[in-house]
């Protein structure tokens, strides 16, 4: 794997941390402060969907072979979740450029879309890593999760006095993935046919 490819993968993960975690946290607090129901609802849905991204990080720590597939699925679902809702889209279109919260939200949505597409392209260029993450050529994909592993390991030891190992991370990731899939199936069968593409953020009135 050449240096340019390694740098590109490293940069992709750094951008993911900023735009998939850091900025949404800021927007969430901002929307609460401004009492903007549309943005607040959008972010609350986003955080529920983004749980799969954190699950994929656990699986990367556990060196689960298909963890990179799950990471791509998570970024795809996160992107869909911020564009899917008709009532939120209509509400955001009503605000002009001068309203900074919604403008920042719109820019963030396009950035997340770009990052998800870029992440997919990066992984397709290393297609074997989809299925064999433990191979030597895929080691670069595991490096970004190493710092998270060290942090969780220290935290786990502090609170429980036990060692947090990669097999434990893999088990927790797979168990969480099962719960997530069951929840997604339930939403798809029960709520989606009933509500469609309406988030019902405005049922209590306009913000």
Could you tell me which of 69, 78, 77 has the C-alpha nearest to residue 138? 69
Rounded to an integer, what distance in angstroms lies between the CA atom of residue 203 and that of residue 95?
Answer: 19
Cβ atoms of residues 167 and 100 within 8 Å:
no
Mean pLDDT score, 58-69: 90
The confidence band for 37, taking pLDDT boundaries of 50, 70 and 90, is very high
Q: Which of 72-76, 88-92, 146-150 has the lowest mean pLDDT?
A: 146-150
Give per-residue pLDDT as tens, 153-180: 777 776 666 677 888 889 999 999 999 9
Mean pLDDT of the chain: 86
Give per-residue pLDDT as tens, 135-151: 887 887 887 777 777 77
Burial tier of 137 (Cβ tally within 10 Å: 0-12, 13-18, 19+): exposed
Give per-residue pLDDT as tens, 120-138: 888 888 888 888 888 887 8
In the prediction, which pLDDT does 151 show?
72
In the prediction, which pLDDT does 2 show?
63
- Provide CB contacts within 8 A for 5, sequence distance 6+: 125, 126, 140
Is the pLDDT at 186 greater than 70? The verdict is: yes
Q: Which of 58-62, 171-175, 202-206 has the lowest mean pLDDT?
A: 202-206
Is the pLDDT at 20 greater than 70? The verdict is: yes
The DSSP-derived string for 93-105 is HTS-TT-HHHHHH
Sign of CA dihedral 98, 102, 108, 109: negative
pTM, 2 dp: 0.88
């Amino acid at each position: 794997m050449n240096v340019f490819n390694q740098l590109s993968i490293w940069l992709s993960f750094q951008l993911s941390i900023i735009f998939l975690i850091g900025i949404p946290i800021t927007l969430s607090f901002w929307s609460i402060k401004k009492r903007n129901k549309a943005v607040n609802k959008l972010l609350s849905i986003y955080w529920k969907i983004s749980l799969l991204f954190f699950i994929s990080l656990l699986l990367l720590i556990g060196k689960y072979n298909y963890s990179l597939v799950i990471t791509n699925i998570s970024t795809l679902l996160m992107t869909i979740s911020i564009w899917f809702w008709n009532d939120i889209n209509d509400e955001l279109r009503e605000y002009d450029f001068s309203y900074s919260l919604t403008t920042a939200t719109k820019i963030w949505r396009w950035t997340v879309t770009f990052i998800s597409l870029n992440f997919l392209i990066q992984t397709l260029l290393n297609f074997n890593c989809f299925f064999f993450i433990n191979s030597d050529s895929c080691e670069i994909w595991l490096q970004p999760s190493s710092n998270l592993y060290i942090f969780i390991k220290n935290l786990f030891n502090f609170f429980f006095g036990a060692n947090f190992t990669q097999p434990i991370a893999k088990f927790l990731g797979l168990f969480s993935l099962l719960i997530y899939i069951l929840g997604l199936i339930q939403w798809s069968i029960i709520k989606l046919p009933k509500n469609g593409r309406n988030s019902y953020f405005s049922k209590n009135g306009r913000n």
